[in-house]
């Protein structure tokens, strides 16, 4: 579904992605692990067109999207939920959800999807008229994911969805991720919480200083000595 072939990205003169190759198949949850600064966020930003790769190729559903704009990439079916649950705080919860569908013109189905999302995440219905900024951190994360779903994405890019959340909410967010896969979603997931990510993922990649240093099934990575030592710690 998504293939990165030796992708290089820069911030100005800073060479951040140094030949990243990875792929995601339909229906998979693939996790991208790695230390701070390894280039995980930059990889997602490059896929979603916020940053243009300087070399290499990104293919989505057989099309080369490496030179498309972020808007065009959203229209192809890739939704990006950035780090730090950025919701529009002064807008209502319902307005945030509607904005997720900004690129769609099928207004009737947008309505139906809004109702469906509110059924799946009742808290968003209960708080529908409230400004999004008044939600708790966990609720804002759910809203950020739900807003991305309003675009009816074929592929969802999630950047550290559990960051800063209390353990109970972390579990809830991971349950949501598993639930999304059951409804057919395909997900590329960045997580600091490697153990939780490998539990829900089918496969994973480990990034180190701008490149992929390891890849494999989630089960293999969970038992890999290097992964255990660097990312799983004790327990």
1, 29, 33, 40: which one binds ligand ATP (CB under 6 A): 40
Give, for 33, the enclosing helix (H) or strand (E). strand 29-34
- 1-30 residues near ligand ATP, rule: CB under 6 A: 11, 14, 16
* Distance from C-alpha of 220 to C-alpha of 176, rounded to nearest angstrom: 24
29 and 187 Cβ atoms separated by less than 8 Å: yes
User: Please, what is the minimum distance in Å from the beta carbon of residue 84 to ligand ATP?
Assistant: 10
User: Please, what is the minimum distance in Å from the beta carbon of residue 61 to ligand ATP?
Assistant: 25
DSSP state for residue 134 in the 8-state scheme: G
* Distance from C-alpha of 162 to C-alpha of 31, rounded to nearest angstrom: 13
Give, for 10, the enclosing helix (H) or strand (E). strand 2-11
31, 42, 96, 186: which one binds ligand ATP (CB under 6 A): 42
26, 27, 37, 133: which one binds ligand ATP (CB under 6 A): 37
Q: Which two tokens stand for residue 14?
A: 């800073």
2, 20, 24, 39: which one binds ligand ATP (CB under 6 A): 39
34 binds ligand ATP (CB under 6 A): yes
User: Please, what is the minimum distance in Å from the beta carbon of residue 39 to ligand ATP?
Assistant: 4
User: Please, what is the minimum distance in Å from the beta carbon of residue 175 to ligand ATP?
Assistant: 23
Give, for 161, the enclosing helix (H) or strand (E). none
51 and 128 Cβ atoms separated by less than 8 Å: no
Residues forming contacts to ligand ATP in the complex (CB under 6 A) are 11, 14, 16, 34, 36-42
């Amino acid at each position: 579904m998504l293939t990165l072939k030796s992708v290089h990205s820069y911030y100005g003169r800073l060479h951040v992605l140094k030949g990243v190759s990875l792929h995601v198949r339909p229906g998979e949850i693939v996790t991208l692990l790695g230390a701070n600064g390894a280039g995980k966020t930059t990889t997602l930003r490059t896929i979603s067109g916020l940053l243009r790769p300087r070399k290499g190729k990104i293919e989505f559903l057989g099309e080369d999207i490496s030179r498309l704009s972020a808007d065009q990439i959203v229209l192809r079916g890739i939704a990006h939920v950035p780090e730090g649950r950025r919701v529009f705080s002064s807008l209502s919860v319902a307005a945030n959800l509607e904005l997720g569908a900004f690129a769609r013109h099928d207004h009737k189905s947008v309505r139906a999807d809004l109702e469906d999302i509110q059924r799946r995440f009742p808290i968003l219905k209960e708080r529908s008229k409230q400004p999004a900024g008044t939600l708790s951190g966990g609720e804002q994360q759910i809203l950020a994911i739900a807003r991305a779903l309003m675009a009816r994405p074929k592929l969802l890019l999630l950047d550290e969805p559990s960051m800063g959340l209390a353990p109970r909410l972390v579990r809830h967010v991971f349950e949501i991720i598993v639930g999304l896969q059951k409804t057919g979603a395909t997900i590329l997931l960045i997580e600091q919480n490697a153990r939780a990510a490998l539990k829900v993922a089918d496969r994973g990649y480990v990034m180190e200083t701008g490149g992929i240093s390891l890849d494999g099934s989630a089960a293999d990575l969970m038992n890999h000595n290097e992964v255990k030592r660097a990312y799983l710690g004790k327990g």
